[in-house]
Amino acid sequence: MAGREFWLTWRTASVGGCRVAYGEAGEGPTVVFLHGWGLDHRAYKAALARLVAAGLHVVAPALPGFGGSDPIGASRTSVRGFADWLEELCEVLGLEEVVAMGHSFGGAVAIAFAHDHPHRVRALVLVNSIGASAWAHRGGALRSMAERPLWDWGLHLPEDLWPVRQVRRVLPVVVAEAAGNLLRQPAAFWRVAKMARQADLTTELEVLKARRLPVVVLWGERDRLVTRPAFEEMCRLLGAPPAVTVGGSHAWLIAEPDTFGEVMTNVAAVIGLVDDEEAPAAVNEA
């Protein structure tokens, strides 16, 4: 696509004596993009290209234990520990005020980061994010994420990470990144998996609502990892923020980067990153 093909500049930094790998590109307001579990910043390069094309400065770190970033140790391996790590990284890189954007597990880190370090975050964008406590409706009752068995995660993981229509494009990316991360840091890989399954940020979401932080929630309507009840619960806890549903699964932004770019052009206007008076009308509450 003309004008949208680029390579992020791959860089490294030191946070607390630990190596951090990250990609950076573009000019304009800064978006810190946080990847999902098992992947790293490189898996999203086509989607990140669309953010750069929208006039944004993108910083995409590999979270601790992934993509060449050193793990931060078992004692700090928590959503809050990752949020503190991100605050230290922003300080090192001189990022004063950012839009925190997270996909899947990265969304949970973004929520904790916005909650714990409000001076650093001007807006929050959550893409198929975990963090709400709801899982599914059963027998008229809402079951919590803590009740979700491990086998149910495994049952839906393949179809949600690599949809059949885009399997030739998405599967090699996902497998290569996940396998590499598992081989490099197997202990950290599985510690973060456990943390992602148990993440419940109900309190943090309610606080962000009270603070009136600008938030936009994006969700793929065929996602069965982050279910519709989880998506709806997150929107409820945040006070019905602007929300967008797209016709994709959990990894839709990797599979359909052009759709992601179109959505993000509108989102950038909604949260005041670009001037476009007509764009907010394209972002509808779910």
Assess if residue 244 is contained within a domain: yes
> Mind giving me the DSSP string for the chain?
-TTT---PEEEEEEETTEEEEEEEE--SSEEEEEPPTT--GGGGHHHHHHHHHTT-EEEEEPPTTSTTPPP--GGG-SHHHHHHHHHHHHHHHT--SEEEEEETHHHHHHHHHHHH-GGGEEEEEEES----SEEEEETTEEEEGGG--HHHHHHHHHHHHS-GGGHHHHHHHHHHHHHHHHHH-HHHHHHHHHHHHH---HHHHHHHHHHT--EEEEEETT-SSS-HHHHHHHHHHTTS--EEEES--TTHHHH-HHHHHHHHHHHHHHTTSS--TTGGGG----
pLDDT tens-digit profile of 119-171? Answer: 999 999 999 998 987 654 454 554 455 555 443 444 445 555 545 454 445 44
Assess if residue 164 is contained within a domain: yes
pLDDT tens-digit profile of 11-65? Answer: 999 998 999 999 999 999 999 999 987 677 778 888 999 999 889 999 999 998 8
- Residue 39: the pLDDT is 74
Q: Give the residue, 249 or 234, on which the prediction is more confident.
A: 234
Domain limits at 200?
Answer: 9-132+151-282
Confidence class for position 6, pLDDT limits 50, 70, 90: low
- Residue 134: the pLDDT is 62
Q: How much is the pTM?
A: 0.80
Cα separations in angstroms, 67 against 57, 63, 192, 248: 21, 7, 14, 25
Task: Report the alpha-carbon distance of residue 64 to residue 189 in Å, rounded.
Answer: 9
CATH number of the CATH domain containing 56: 3.40.50.1820
pLDDT tens-digit profile of 262-273? Answer: 999 999 988 988
Provide the domain count of the chain: 1
Please give the average per-residue pLDDT across 96-101, as a whole number.
Answer: 97
Assess if residue 231 is contained within a domain: yes
Assess if residue 1 is contained within a domain: no
Assess if residue 157 is contained within a domain: yes
pLDDT tens-digit profile of 177-204? Answer: 544 444 455 555 445 555 666 678 999 9
Assess if residue 2 is contained within a domain: no
Per the prediction, the chain carries an average pLDDT of: 79
- Residue 226: the pLDDT is 86
Assess if residue 16 is contained within a domain: yes
Assess if residue 65 is contained within a domain: yes
